[in-house]
Amino acid sequence: MKVTTTSVAALAAGAVAAPSNTTPRGASKAAAACSSAVTLDASTNVFQKYTLHPNTFYRSEVAAAVEQMADASLKTAAAKVADVGSFLWLDSIANMAKFEDAVADLPCENILGLVIYDLPGRDCAAKASNGELKYNELDRYKTEYIDPIVTKIKANPNAAFALLIEPDSLPNLVTNADLSTCQESKTAYEEGVAYALKSLNLPNVVMYIDAGHGGWLGWDANLKPGAEELAKVYKNAGSPKQVRGYATNIAGWNAWDEDPGEFSDASDAKYNSCQNEKTYVTKFSAALKTAGFPNHAIVDTGRNAVTGLREEWGDWCNVNGAGFGIRPTADTGLELADAFVWGKPGGESDGTSDEGATRYDSYCGKPDAYKPSPEAGEWNQAYFEMLLQNASPAF
């Protein structure tokens, strides 16, 4: 298939960086929990009824960041970020411990966004965000990771959950099949995601499988095989009814509807008609419908306020000059797009810029990457302040 040096391995390599392993606790808002069991209709857009929850973990990170600021006006603006709903990353077996505090803080009108992110051989084309499980540890993924999450959700039937399933996994199988690491992980990815979908198919859950973004599976030659890969795994799971669709631009930088697109003047632009995420959702949803997969999307707008910063599509790490984007909303202007969400917690690093670090990825050292930056998932105060200052709309 047609791929470019700017669209595949580079984009996949570390497009998603796992959040911090620490678990700060902050004061929770008073929450009026639902008085009866929640049932979500995945044939509808649940974000029209529920608000994405500002989870306790990110609220605590932002509160700590505010305390480090001296400028009064900046502190006031920063404090407002804590009230923005975002997804909570359960990116390791240990970090499942974040679940209880987040649910305890959940009012009935909100939906808790959770990222399921611990596949064996995770991020097979990455250096900065590899996971804890080896490619041959599928049983551990099932019994030590997915099964306990199922138990936790079943223990909270009166809460609503939106699950983002395994960022970067299936897209890597489409575009990085030549890498030995992705070849080794193929079985674990497909069987692991299918197991997650089948096991998490609970009445108070709605699921979205990660599908990269327009600069990844949006290339003309990738749309059909990308859709078929998602559909294959979905059908292998028994076509779970709580799967609503897919997620795009998670931890990404692509504009929603910029026209012409950010890379429309590149020499290879003729091979990618998805120059913004709106076009990608439209085209990929059509391919998914043909393949037999639910075709509604959520789109990460958490850090995409500023475009024209990257040298190429594939520059994914700590993009310098970025800003917080549109706040989570179901008002997207496109029926196929259920909601804009904040998938990546803004302020947490994509990867370290320390060339001597074990997990250093060269994309975190490129000219358009912010430096210095800590390890993936660790808090970067200066980067958070930059996102805040460049936010559009402003806080």
DSSP 219: S
Question: Cβ distance 56 to 102 under 8 Å?
Answer: yes
DSSP string spanning 71-115? -HHHHHHHHHHTTS---EEE-SSGGGGHHHHHHHT--TTEEEEEE
Active-site residue, selected from the candidate residues 105, 123, 300, 361: 123
Q: Which residues of 251-265 are buried (b: 16+ CB within 10 A; e: fewer)?
A: bbbbbbebeebbbee
- Residues in Cβ contact with 345 at an 8 Å cutoff, skipping those fewer than 6 apart: 19, 58, 61, 86, 87, 89, 302
Give the bridge partners for 208, in sequence order.
Answer: 164, 245
Give the bridge partners for 206, in sequence order.
Answer: 162
DSSP 27: P
- Residue found under tokens 């400028």: 71
DSSP string spanning 37-79? -----TTS-GGGT-EEP--HHHHHHHHHHHHT---HHHHHHHH
Active-site residue, selected from the candidate residues 168, 338, 350, 361: 168
Question: Cβ distance 326 to 360 under 8 Å?
Answer: no
Distance CA 14, CA 64 (A): 26
Catalytic, 123? Answer yes
Q: Is 192 helix (H, G, I), strand (E, B) or coil?
A: helix
Q: Would you name the residues annotated as active-site residues?
A: 123, 168
